[in-house]
Amino acid sequence: MMFIDTHCHLDGEEFKIDRDAVIQRAREAGCQAIFLPAIDVASCHTVLDTCHQYPGYCYPMLGLHPEEVRDDWRDQLTAIKDILSTSSDVIAIGEVGLDYYWSREFQEEQLLAFEEQVRWAIELQLPLMIHCRKAQNEMVNLLKRYANDLPGGVFHCFTGNAQEASQLLQFDRFMLGIGGALTFKKSHLPEDLPAAVPLNRIVFETDAPYMAPVPLRGQRNESAFIKHIITRLAEAYGVSEQEICRQANENVKKVFGIQI
Footprint of Zn ion (CB under 5 A): 207
CB of 7 to Zn ion, least distance (A): 6
**Beta carbon nearer to Zn ion, 192 or 207:** 207
175 versus 196: smaller Cβ distance to Zn ion: 175
For residue 219, the SS3 value is coil
8-state DSSP, 175: E
Nearer to Zn ion, 65 or 201 (CB): 65
Closer residue to Zn ion in complex, CB, 81/133: 133
Among residues 35 and 120, whose Cβ is nearest to Zn ion? 35
Backbone angles phi, psi at 14, to 5 degrees: -60, -20
Please give the residue whose beta carbon sits closest to Zn ion in the complex. 207
Min dist CB 153 to Zn ion, Å, is 14
> For residues 26 and 196, which CB has a smaller minimum distance to Zn ion in the complex?
26
Shortest distance, position 256 Cβ to Zn ion, whole Å: 16
Q: 260: Cβ–Cβ under 8 A, 6 or more apart, which residues?
A: 4, 32, 33, 249, 252, 253
Q: How far is the CB of 141 from Zn ion (least distance, A)?
A: 23
Q: How far is the CB of 9 from Zn ion (least distance, A)?
A: 6
- The set of residues, in sequence order, having a beta carbon less than 8 Å from that of 31 and lying 6+ positions away, is 3, 4, 5, 223, 224, 226
Q: In what order do the strands lie in the sheet with 31-37?
A: 3-5, 31-37, 58-62, 92-99, 128-133, 153-155, 174-178, 202-204
Please report how close the Cβ of residue 243 comes to Zn ion at its closest, in angstroms: 27
Helix extents (H) in the chain: 19-29, 41-53, 73-85, 107-124, 136-144, 162-169, 189-196, 226-237, 241-256
